[in-house]
Amino acid sequence: MDYHLLSPNTQAILLLCASFGQNRQTEPKPLTLSEYNTVATWLLEEHLNPADLLNSTLKNRLSQITINKLDSQRLIALLERGVMLSLAVEKWTNQGLWILGRGDADYPQCLKQRLKHNAPAILYGIGKRELLSQAGLAIVGSREVDQEGLNYTERVVQICAEQGINVISGGARGVDQASMLGILAAGGNAVGVLADSLTKAAVASKYRAGIKEGRLTLVSAYDPDASFSAGNAMGRNKYIYALADYALVISSAVGKGGTWAGATEVLRKVQDVPVFVRMQGTVPEGNQKLLEKGGIVFPEIPWNKPLRTLLDAAIAEVEESKVDGEVIESEKSSAGDDLGGDKTIYINLPAKDIYEAVLPFILNQLEQPQDAKSLAESLQVRKGQMEDWLKRAVQEGKVIKQKNPVMYVVNKEFNLLALLEKDDSG
């Protein structure tokens, strides 16, 4: 069977993980994402692909293999659900849905890069797949948002539509639906990341025109026929953020609810998706608390510059303030050893001098080649900020940019020349 032209890898992942519309408690019980990752790790170690599990020889070998305490008979039983897979995929494709496995070329790379092993093994969707890779602004907020919050949301998405910025949200009642329907009404594009009932949403009248016109894509990491589950609703929050360049929290309670849980999780774990918070007008207490946890004040409306320009400027200001006045730990020195501890350097400079202050630490890290992401993580700054500094250092000849893969390393010839010139002048 061709299973409607799904890749062999995706077929195998579906057999292992999909419930095919059944209760997930039925036997054999499909693998959770964590369990699938265990299998994926084993396949990698064995230099195999998921598709190899469809081979009868390997399937027979599974009965003699233990994969981190997973029941081999359960794996075999899951892989033998070919008829169920064929029927389910035929049903979904007849409804206009498509399926992407984590190894497919169309699978959004940002999910894998940002979430790594937490990226969903399977994505079900309807609409234009390309929208998943165009990023944009994630807009989230409470289901019980007040009218002021809804009005604010509509103003933001109107401008996003005018400036060609896609909106990513969750489709739930309140802020999510207001943002998605608002930008569609304004002629813009939206991505809805659903926690349940994808098949119902796919034929809903409110979404039909947007899907048909290629301006709306709906996706879910859960069975297209799944009913609402609080766990799934919480789990999909990180997917909303990971598909975006920036996020905006319209309204949040304190310490409870999906908006709070999703925003605080991203602030802790997904450093390259800045979380902005509405502070204009009357806002709930949760918004202020999110600022205290690392959120950034969203630019006040009306704007005198393009939104992306304002957001990037706000991010840069925050990154600079992290360095300005921060304590930066250096390598141990003889003076530090004498005092029984590490030597610490206090930097308190104007923003324009921050690059010069940070450069020695960058060069010290680049004695061996590193990529921008690793370097940003080691110095605890945003990747975009680090790329700006590296670009300047490359232009000045202090750092060499290597290709395939892109890595950066200190230009030892430049630094040696600088030392010789210093000696000559003395």
46-90 pLDDT per residue, tens: 999 999 999 988 888 888 888 888 999 999 999 999 999 999 999
Domain with CATH 3.40.50.450 in the chain: 124-319
Supply 122's token pair.
């399977």
Q: Which contacts qualify for 70-78: CB closer than 8 Å, 24 or more apart? A: 70/35, 70/38, 70/39, 74/28, 74/29, 75/16, 75/39, 77/27, 77/28, 78/15, 78/16, 78/28, 78/30, 78/31
Residue 84: its pLDDT value, please? Answer: 94
Q: Give the model's pLDDT for residue 365.
A: 87
CB 272 within 8 A of CB 114: yes
Check residue 414 and give its pLDDT: 65
Give backbone dihedrals phi and psi of 123, rounded to 5 degrees, phi first: -120, 125
| CB neighbour list of residue 29: distance below 8 Å, 6 or more residues apart | 74
Q: Which CATH architecture has domain 327-425?
A: Orthogonal Bundle (1.10)
Helices (H), 293-402: 307-323, 334-338, 354-365, 372-379, 383-395
Q: 3-state class of 332 per DSSP?
A: coil
Cβ-proximal residues to 326 (8 Å cutoff; 6+ apart), any chain: 347
* Residue range 363-404, pLDDT digits in tens: 888 988 999 988 888 787 888 888 889 988 898 889 999 888
Domain with CATH 1.10.10.10 in the chain: 327-425
Q: What is the pLDDT of residue 360?
A: 85
Ramachandran angles phi, psi of 14, nearest 5°: -60, -45
- List the beta strands (DSSP E) in 263-357: 275-277, 296-297, 327-329, 344-346
Q: What topology is assigned to 124-319 in CATH?
A: Rossmann fold (3.40.50)
Token output for 172: 């739930």
Q: Which two tokens stand for residue 315?
A: 């991010």
Question: What's the pLDDT score for residue 24?
Answer: 63
Kindly tell me the sign of the dihedral angle through the C-alpha atoms of 280, 281, 285, 286: negative
Residues of the chain scoring pLDDT < 70: 1-4, 23-25, 321-353, 414-426
